[in-house]
């Protein structure tokens, strides 16, 4: 029987409905409208589309958004200054810098300048360390989205064999850490892995984020596996595909995500989730402050 197709668009809609309820509650109970600030440097065409989608998605769930556009030859000092101002802004609960950024500006400097309380992309070293230690304030959006998809489908992770193909800082590595936290047995593969198939074939759950169309063929997948395709590749004929031979692998797997319509819609959704969670944390802290002051003065 062909695999069940995991409908990321539908699950994203369900998660967004919960987020919308939370933004309403924040406004009603605390007078807070969650806010996201997006810094964009240069005019990378893909980034323009991603940022537009993020702005639309924010509006859809009651989050206000501001985009700060800088030309590609802006100085690093100017960007860091903008981030520091946003760190202090009461109406901003999440800050992200749309990657990639032009050479000459250090991603590391940017990430370490964003307040850990507003690091909704989850790329600050503090959040990365949190993932390693077992908990992060803001898990990075794409692996977090994959985790949510698995959760919504009721797919158990404890004790299962998971293979993650791709070991980038934004997808593969945090994904592996999050799955380890769920007590899965995790193998991580990358471009230098010899005989990729020997790792993919043992996977109960296979997560692929390499950026290589048709990397995963049916003979590399175990019958009944769960296959999550994070890859997004534009073919010369204009088609958008993942890293998995979708038609072939779906005959063998138990579950599979399509591209588009699988992990993609979840990534933006988890950014909204992190932004609302940040506003809730800040509201809770503000709510606690007077009680603490009273106790301290009493
Ligand atoms: P990246 O280029 O930073 O990392 C790719 C990783 O894959 C590296 O670890 C590399 O060693 C590994 N790799 C490359 N070729 C391989 C091969 N032949 N065999 C095994 N491993 C190989 O990419 P990234 O930013 O992690 O993104 C990966 C893919 O996921 C891209 O297609 C990207 O567009 C997509 N992506 C999708 C979303 C989403 O929301 N769906 C979000 C982020 C990235």
Closest ligand 1 atom to residue 171 Cα is: 26
pLDDT at 288: 65
**In 102-244, which residue ranges form alpha helices assigned H by DSSP?**
107-113, 125-133, 141-152, 172-181, 196-200
Q: Cα of 35 to ligand 1 centre, how many Å? A: 29
Domain ranges of the chain: 30-124, 141-264
Q: Given the CA of residue 192, which atom of ligand 1 is nearest to it?
A: 11
Return the CATH architecture of domain 30-124.
Answer: 3-Layer(aba) Sandwich (3.40)
Quote the pLDDT of residue 287: 78
Cα 36 to ligand 1 centre (Å): 26
The DSSP 8-state label assigned to residue 216 in this structure reads B
Whether 141-264 and 30-124 are alike in CATH topology: the answer is: yes
**What does DSSP say about strands 240-241 and 233-234: parallel, antiparallel, or unpaired?**
antiparallel
For residue 288, with 0-12 CB atoms within 10 Å meaning exposed, 13-18 middle and 19 or more buried, which class applies?
Answer: exposed
- To test the pocket of ligand 1, the residue of 6, 211, 212, 263 to mutate (highest count of ligand atoms within 8 Å of its CB) is 211
Taking the CA of residue 136 as centre, how many other CA atoms within 13 Å lie in the half-sphere pointing to its CB? 28
Q: Ligand 1 pocket, 267 CB below 6 A? A: yes
By annotation, the residues acting in catalysis are 54, 98, 121
Q: How far apart are CA 130 and CA 234, in angstroms?
A: 34
**Which residues are registered as beta bridge partners of 255?**
4, 226
DSSP for 30-66, please give it: H----EEEEEEES--HHHHHHHHHHHHHHHHHT-EEE
The reply to whether ligand 1 has any atom less than 6 angstroms from the CB of 215 is: yes
pLDDT (tens, 9 = 90+) of the chain, 298 residues, equals 899 999 999 999 999 999 999 999 999 999 999 999 999 999 999 999 999 999 999 999 999 999 999 999 999 999 999 999 999 999 999 999 999 999 999 999 999 999 999 999 999 999 999 999 988 899 999 999 999 999 999 999 999 999 999 999 999 999 999 999 999 999 999 999 999 999 999 999 999 999 999 999 999 999 999 999 999 999 999 999 999 999 999 999 999 999 999 999 999 999 999 999 999 999 998 876 544 433 333 3
Query: Ligand 1 in contact with 197 (CB < 6 A)?
Result: no
Identify how many contiguous H helices and E strands the chain contains and give both numbers.
10, 11
Helix (H) or strand (E) holding 1: none
> What is residue 155's three-state secondary structure?
coil
pTM beyond 0.85: yes
pLDDT for res 135: 83
Ligand 1: distance of its center to the CA of 87 in Å? 30
Nearest residue by C-alpha to atom 18 in ligand 1: 191
**What value does the mean pLDDT of the chain take?**
95
Which CATH topology does 141-264 take?
Answer: Rossmann fold (3.40.50)
């Amino acid at each position: 029987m062909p695999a069940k197709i995991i409908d990321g668009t539908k699950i994203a809609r369900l998660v967004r409905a919960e987020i919308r309820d939370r933004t309403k509650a924040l406004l009603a109970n605390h007078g807070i409208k969650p806010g996201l600030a997006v810094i964009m440097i240069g005019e990378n065409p893909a980034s323009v589309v991603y940022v537009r989608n993020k702005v639309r998605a924010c509006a859809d769930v009651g989050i206000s958004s501001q985009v700060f556009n800088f030309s590609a030859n802006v100085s690093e000092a100017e960007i860091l200054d903008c981030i520091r101002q946003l760190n202090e802004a009461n109406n901003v609960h999440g800050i992200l810098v749309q990657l990639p950024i032009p050479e000459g500006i250090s991603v590391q400097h940017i990430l370490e300048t964003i307040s850990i309380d507003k690091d909704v992309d989850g790329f600050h070293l503090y959040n990365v360390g949190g993932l390693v230690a077992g908990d992060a304030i803001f898990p990075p959006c794409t692996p977090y989205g994959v985790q949510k998809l698995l959760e919504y489908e009721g797919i158990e992770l404890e004790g299962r064999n998971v293979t993650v193909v791709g070991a980038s800082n934004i997808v593969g590595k945090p994904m592996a850490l999050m799955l380890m936290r769920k007590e899965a047995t995790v193998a991580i593969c990358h471009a230098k892995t010899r005989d990729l198939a020997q790792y993919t074939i043992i996977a109960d759950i296979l997560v692929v984020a390499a950026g290589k169309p048709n990397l995963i063929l049916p003979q590399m997948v175990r019958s009944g596996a769960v296959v999550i395709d994070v890859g997004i590749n534009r073919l010369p004929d204009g088609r958008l595909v993942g890293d998995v031979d979708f038609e072939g692998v779906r005959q063998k797997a138990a579950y599979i995500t399509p591209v588009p319509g699988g992990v993609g819609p979840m990534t933006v959704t988890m950014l909204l989730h992190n932004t609302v969670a940040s506003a809730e944390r800040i509201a809770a802290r503000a709510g606690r402050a007077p009680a603490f002051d009273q106790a301290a003065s009493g």
